Structure 1
Amino acid sequence: MTIALSADLRALWHTPGTNHRDRKEIVRHLVDRVLVHVERDSEYVSVTIHRRGGFTSRHEVVRPVSSYEQLRDLAKLMDRTAALRYEGPNTAQIADALNQEGSARRRGGADSSPTSSASSWCVAA
Protein backbone atom coordinates (compact mmCIF):
# COMPACT_ATOMS: atom_id res chain seq x y z
CA MET A 1 0.00 0.00 0.00
CA THR A 2 2.85 2.44 0.81
CA ILE A 3 4.36 1.91 -2.65
CA ALA A 4 1.00 2.69 -4.28
CA LEU A 5 0.60 5.80 -2.10
CA SER A 6 4.13 7.00 -2.88
CA ALA A 7 3.04 7.48 -6.50
CA ASP A 8 0.43 9.93 -5.20
CA LEU A 9 2.15 12.14 -2.64
CA ARG A 10 -1.01 14.11 -1.89
CA ALA A 11 -2.88 10.92 -0.98
CA LEU A 12 0.06 9.71 1.14
CA TRP A 13 0.18 13.05 2.98
CA HIS A 14 -3.58 13.06 3.73
CA THR A 15 -4.02 9.36 4.49
CA PRO A 16 -5.51 9.03 8.02
CA GLY A 17 -2.64 6.73 9.04
CA THR A 18 0.01 9.35 8.20
CA ASN A 19 1.05 11.18 11.38
CA HIS A 20 3.24 14.26 11.93
CA ARG A 21 6.40 12.17 12.30
CA ASP A 22 5.66 10.51 8.95
CA ARG A 23 5.09 13.90 7.29
CA LYS A 24 8.41 15.19 8.62
CA GLU A 25 10.10 12.14 7.15
CA ILE A 26 8.43 12.78 3.78
CA VAL A 27 9.70 16.37 3.83
CA ARG A 28 13.22 15.17 4.69
CA HIS A 29 13.17 13.02 1.54
CA LEU A 30 11.97 15.87 -0.67
CA VAL A 31 13.85 18.93 0.64
CA ASP A 32 17.60 19.53 0.76
CA ARG A 33 17.50 22.79 2.67
CA VAL A 34 15.38 25.80 3.57
CA LEU A 35 16.83 29.31 3.77
CA VAL A 36 14.94 31.93 5.79
CA HIS A 37 15.75 35.63 5.62
CA VAL A 38 14.02 37.84 8.19
CA GLU A 39 14.20 41.56 7.54
CA ARG A 40 14.64 43.42 10.78
CA ASP A 41 12.21 46.25 9.96
CA SER A 42 9.51 44.27 8.20
CA GLU A 43 6.83 41.72 8.87
CA TYR A 44 7.82 39.92 5.67
CA VAL A 45 10.10 36.89 5.62
CA SER A 46 11.73 35.44 2.49
CA VAL A 47 11.82 31.65 2.36
CA THR A 48 13.78 29.71 -0.25
CA ILE A 49 13.18 25.96 -0.46
CA HIS A 50 15.85 23.87 -2.23
CA ARG A 51 14.27 20.57 -3.19
CA ARG A 52 16.10 17.40 -4.11
CA GLY A 53 16.54 17.19 -7.83
CA GLY A 54 17.47 20.85 -8.18
CA PHE A 55 14.08 22.62 -8.04
CA THR A 56 14.10 25.82 -5.99
CA SER A 57 11.05 27.83 -4.96
CA ARG A 58 10.92 31.24 -3.32
CA HIS A 59 8.14 32.44 -1.04
CA GLU A 60 7.29 35.49 1.01
CA VAL A 61 5.42 34.94 4.26
CA VAL A 62 4.16 37.35 6.90
CA ARG A 63 5.26 37.05 10.50
CA PRO A 64 3.82 38.73 13.58
CA VAL A 65 5.88 41.67 14.80
CA SER A 66 6.01 43.26 18.23
CA SER A 67 6.01 46.94 17.28
CA TYR A 68 4.41 49.15 14.65
CA GLU A 69 7.84 50.39 13.60
CA GLN A 70 8.55 46.92 12.22
CA LEU A 71 5.75 47.14 9.65
CA ARG A 72 7.10 47.66 6.13
CA ASP A 73 4.18 49.87 5.08
CA LEU A 74 3.68 51.75 8.35
CA ALA A 75 3.45 55.19 6.68
CA LYS A 76 0.82 53.93 4.24
CA LEU A 77 -1.10 52.28 7.09
CA MET A 78 -1.04 55.46 9.17
CA ASP A 79 -2.25 57.55 6.20
CA ARG A 80 -5.12 55.10 5.60
CA THR A 81 -6.02 55.10 9.30
CA ALA A 82 -6.08 58.91 9.36
CA ALA A 83 -8.30 58.98 6.25
CA LEU A 84 -10.73 56.51 7.80
CA ARG A 85 -10.75 58.46 11.07
CA TYR A 86 -11.56 61.64 9.14
CA GLU A 87 -14.59 59.86 7.63
CA GLY A 88 -15.95 59.40 11.16
CA PRO A 89 -16.17 55.69 12.01
CA ASN A 90 -15.29 54.45 15.49
CA THR A 91 -12.12 52.49 16.23
CA ALA A 92 -13.76 49.07 15.84
CA GLN A 93 -15.11 50.07 12.41
CA ILE A 94 -11.69 51.41 11.40
CA ALA A 95 -10.06 48.15 12.50
CA ASP A 96 -12.67 46.16 10.56
CA ALA A 97 -12.01 48.26 7.43
CA LEU A 98 -8.25 47.80 7.76
CA ASN A 99 -8.70 44.05 8.23
CA GLN A 100 -11.01 43.78 5.21
CA GLU A 101 -8.44 45.67 3.13
CA GLY A 102 -5.83 43.11 4.15
CA SER A 103 -3.65 45.31 6.35
CA ALA A 104 -1.19 43.27 8.38
CA ARG A 105 -1.66 43.28 12.13
CA ARG A 106 1.06 44.15 14.54
CA ARG A 107 0.03 41.17 16.65
CA GLY A 108 -2.84 38.73 16.74
CA GLY A 109 -4.05 36.51 13.97
CA ALA A 110 -6.85 35.90 11.55
CA ASP A 111 -9.13 34.88 14.40
CA SER A 112 -8.61 38.08 16.44
CA SER A 113 -11.83 39.86 17.25
CA PRO A 114 -12.53 43.37 15.88
CA THR A 115 -12.29 44.76 19.40
CA SER A 116 -8.85 43.27 19.94
CA SER A 117 -7.86 44.45 16.47
CA ALA A 118 -8.98 47.98 17.28
CA SER A 119 -6.95 48.02 20.47
CA SER A 120 -4.04 46.42 18.65
CA TRP A 121 -4.10 49.15 16.00
CA CYS A 122 -4.31 51.88 18.70
CA VAL A 123 -6.39 54.12 16.45
CA ALA A 124 -6.19 57.70 17.74
CA ALA A 125 -9.31 59.78 18.25
Structure 2
Amino acid sequence: MSTAFSADDTTTQGGVLSASAQDAFAAELSRLSASSGLGNRDKLVRLLGLLLCVAGGVVVLLAYQGATGASDLRDQMELLVLAIFGLLLGVVGIGIHVAISMQRFLRFWLLRLVHEQRDLAGGR
Protein backbone atom coordinates (compact mmCIF):
# COMPACT_ATOMS: atom_id res chain seq x y z
CA MET A 1 0.00 0.00 0.00
CA SER A 2 1.68 3.16 -1.21
CA THR A 3 0.57 6.39 0.40
CA ALA A 4 1.87 9.80 -0.63
CA PHE A 5 2.86 12.07 2.24
CA SER A 6 3.53 15.77 2.07
CA ALA A 7 6.46 17.50 3.74
CA ASP A 8 4.18 18.44 6.65
CA ASP A 9 3.46 14.76 7.39
CA THR A 10 6.98 13.82 8.45
CA THR A 11 7.88 13.46 12.08
CA THR A 12 8.52 16.65 13.96
CA GLN A 13 11.50 17.29 16.20
CA GLY A 14 11.46 14.97 19.17
CA GLY A 15 10.04 12.01 17.24
CA VAL A 16 6.37 12.96 17.60
CA LEU A 17 4.15 12.15 14.64
CA SER A 18 2.25 14.99 13.04
CA ALA A 19 -1.56 14.90 13.07
CA SER A 20 -1.90 13.50 9.56
CA ALA A 21 0.82 10.93 10.21
CA GLN A 22 -0.99 9.92 13.42
CA ASP A 23 -4.18 9.43 11.42
CA ALA A 24 -2.30 7.31 8.91
CA PHE A 25 -0.77 5.30 11.76
CA ALA A 26 -4.21 4.68 13.29
CA ALA A 27 -5.52 3.59 9.90
CA GLU A 28 -2.56 1.26 9.48
CA LEU A 29 -3.19 -0.28 12.91
CA SER A 30 -6.83 -0.89 12.07
CA ARG A 31 -5.83 -2.37 8.69
CA LEU A 32 -3.49 -4.77 10.45
CA SER A 33 -6.29 -5.67 12.87
CA ALA A 34 -4.01 -4.81 15.75
CA SER A 35 -6.13 -4.24 18.81
CA SER A 36 -5.08 -2.72 22.08
CA GLY A 37 -6.31 -5.80 23.93
CA LEU A 38 -4.24 -8.79 24.87
CA GLY A 39 -4.36 -12.13 23.13
CA ASN A 40 -5.69 -15.23 24.85
CA ARG A 41 -2.22 -16.53 25.71
CA ASP A 42 -1.12 -13.15 27.04
CA LYS A 43 -4.22 -12.91 29.22
CA LEU A 44 -3.62 -16.37 30.65
CA VAL A 45 0.05 -15.71 31.38
CA ARG A 46 -0.75 -12.34 32.98
CA LEU A 47 -3.44 -13.99 35.10
CA LEU A 48 -0.93 -16.69 36.10
CA GLY A 49 1.50 -13.97 37.20
CA LEU A 50 -1.14 -12.26 39.32
CA LEU A 51 -2.24 -15.58 40.83
CA LEU A 52 1.34 -16.45 41.72
CA CYS A 53 1.72 -13.07 43.38
CA VAL A 54 -1.45 -13.56 45.45
CA ALA A 55 -0.50 -17.16 46.30
CA GLY A 56 2.93 -15.98 47.45
CA GLY A 57 1.31 -13.42 49.75
CA VAL A 58 -1.02 -16.05 51.19
CA VAL A 59 1.89 -18.44 51.81
CA VAL A 60 3.84 -15.68 53.58
CA LEU A 61 0.87 -14.81 55.79
CA LEU A 62 0.24 -18.47 56.67
CA ALA A 63 3.92 -18.99 57.47
CA TYR A 64 3.92 -15.91 59.70
CA GLN A 65 0.79 -17.08 61.49
CA GLY A 66 2.35 -20.49 62.06
CA ALA A 67 5.69 -19.03 63.21
CA THR A 68 4.06 -16.85 65.86
CA GLY A 69 2.48 -19.92 67.46
CA ALA A 70 5.58 -22.15 67.26
CA SER A 71 7.79 -22.23 70.33
CA ASP A 72 10.49 -24.52 68.97
CA LEU A 73 13.20 -22.83 66.91
CA ARG A 74 13.28 -25.71 64.40
CA ASP A 75 9.59 -25.23 63.65
CA GLN A 76 10.13 -21.52 63.18
CA MET A 77 12.99 -22.19 60.74
CA GLU A 78 10.76 -24.51 58.69
CA LEU A 79 8.18 -21.78 58.49
CA LEU A 80 10.87 -19.25 57.57
CA VAL A 81 11.83 -21.41 54.60
CA LEU A 82 8.14 -21.57 53.65
CA ALA A 83 7.88 -17.77 53.91
CA ILE A 84 10.94 -17.36 51.66
CA PHE A 85 9.28 -19.68 49.16
CA GLY A 86 6.17 -17.47 49.31
CA LEU A 87 8.29 -14.39 48.65
CA LEU A 88 9.87 -16.17 45.69
CA LEU A 89 6.41 -16.96 44.30
CA GLY A 90 5.46 -13.30 44.62
CA VAL A 91 8.61 -12.09 42.88
CA VAL A 92 8.14 -14.57 40.02
CA GLY A 93 4.51 -13.48 39.67
CA ILE A 94 5.48 -9.82 39.52
CA GLY A 95 8.22 -10.65 36.99
CA ILE A 96 5.74 -12.46 34.73
CA HIS A 97 3.28 -9.57 34.95
CA VAL A 98 5.96 -6.98 34.14
CA ALA A 99 7.28 -9.10 31.25
CA ILE A 100 3.84 -9.37 29.64
CA SER A 101 3.24 -5.64 30.12
CA MET A 102 6.59 -4.78 28.53
CA GLN A 103 5.92 -7.19 25.68
CA ARG A 104 2.67 -5.40 24.91
CA PHE A 105 4.33 -1.98 25.10
CA LEU A 106 7.27 -2.99 22.89
CA ARG A 107 4.94 -4.57 20.32
CA PHE A 108 3.18 -1.25 19.72
CA TRP A 109 6.45 0.67 19.94
CA LEU A 110 7.86 -1.50 17.16
CA LEU A 111 4.76 -0.96 15.02
CA ARG A 112 5.11 2.79 15.44
CA LEU A 113 8.83 2.68 14.67
CA VAL A 114 8.19 0.76 11.46
CA HIS A 115 5.48 3.23 10.48
CA GLU A 116 7.74 6.23 11.18
CA GLN A 117 10.56 4.71 9.13
CA ARG A 118 8.18 4.06 6.25
CA ASP A 119 6.90 7.63 6.60
CA LEU A 120 10.45 9.01 6.43
CA ALA A 121 11.26 6.81 3.42
CA GLY A 122 8.43 8.38 1.44
CA GLY A 123 5.53 6.07 2.16
CA ARG A 124 6.90 2.96 0.48
Q: What TM-score, normalized by structure 1, do the two folds share?
A: 0.28
Name the structure, 1 or 2, with higher relative contact order (CA <8 Å, separation 6+): 2
Higher strand share: 1
Query: Which has more helix, going by share of residues?
Result: 2
